[in-house]
Every structure is written in C-alpha cells, then in structure tokens.
Structure 1
Amino acid sequence: MSDVQAQFAQAQQDVQQLTERPGNLTLLRLYALFKQATQGDVHGDKPGFADIVGKYKYDAWAALQGTAEDTAKTQYIELVESLKSGAAS
C-alpha cells in the first residue's frame, strides 16, 4: 500500500470522527474528491431536476474531471486535515 493510499484510508476514518459537521459546500467537496479518487472521472447520467442533491453531487464530481486519482486523494487528505485543525468548515 502506497503512502498516499495509507493516508487516504486514515483520512476516511478521520472524517467520520470530526467533532463538528462540515458545511454543505465542504461536504460536497469531500464527496467529489472521494469519488474522483476512488472511481475516476464522473460516469452515468446526470440526475434530473427533481433530484437536487444528486444533481449537486454529480456537478461537484464532474468539476474534477481529468484530475488524477492520486491528486484527488492528496486534496482529500489536505481537506480532512484542515477540518481536523479547524481551518476549514
């Protein structure tokens, strides 16, 4: 297991232990980075207008199209670390 992969796995555990729930935009960013890191570029049909949450998730993930998986993992790790230190919300 690579160092980035180990840190990514730890960040996934750490994010569940946060004392404060991040804001919706931060949660979307975490979601999109996680999906990009684990599944690559967005795929599937964009949800319809009735599925607002699904549409926002899809758009956030699509915005990362072309981002390398290791880059997405690194950005996810950095975001979780900033949440743990209280620098982001």
Structure 2
Amino acid sequence: MSTNDLLTKKDLADFEERMNERFQQALAHSGASKKRWLRSKEVAEMLGISMSSLQNFRINGTLPYAKLDGTIFYDYDEIMAVMKANEVRA
C-alpha cells in the first residue's frame, strides 16, 4: 500500500478479521506460556503482530500493561482475557 492509498471500511474489517484469527491462534496455545509477565517482544510474537500494532493496543487501552524502570510488561492472564472478550463466533 502506498502513501496515496486510502483505507476503506473493508480494509479495516479485513484487518479486524485477521487480528481475531491471531487471537484465536494464541488462545489455542494458551497453555504454552508458563510465565506470568511477558515483555513486548514476546507478546508481539505470541500474537503474530508488529511492535507498532502492540504499541497501538497499549495507546488505545486494548491491552493493559505495567511499566517498570522503562520496561513494559503484560500480564499473560490479561492478554488471554482480552482475546476471549474479542472472540468472534461465526
């Protein structure tokens, strides 16, 4: 997509669908993590999203986080709760 392209409602709906699919994949692997607190890189990899998407989730309040001495941590259980809350059943 070039800088002159406009995003349509369909583009946003497609993006939402992809995010929901990734959330579902992460839910399927929910037993894989044994750590309670995850760093940004771990969360981005777990959800299959970019670091900038993760930052947007922080900014818009989608994912709660804790910041300690400049390092951002996410509670694994909170991530699972957000994914469950956004679950789409067809």
Larger strand fraction of residues: 2
Asked if TM exceeds 0.5, the reply is: no
Answer 1 or 2: which has greater helix percent. 1
State the TM-score, normalizing by the size of structure 2: 0.31
When normalised by structure 1's length, the TM-score is: 0.31
Larger RCO: 1 or 2 (CA < 8 Å, sep 6+): 1
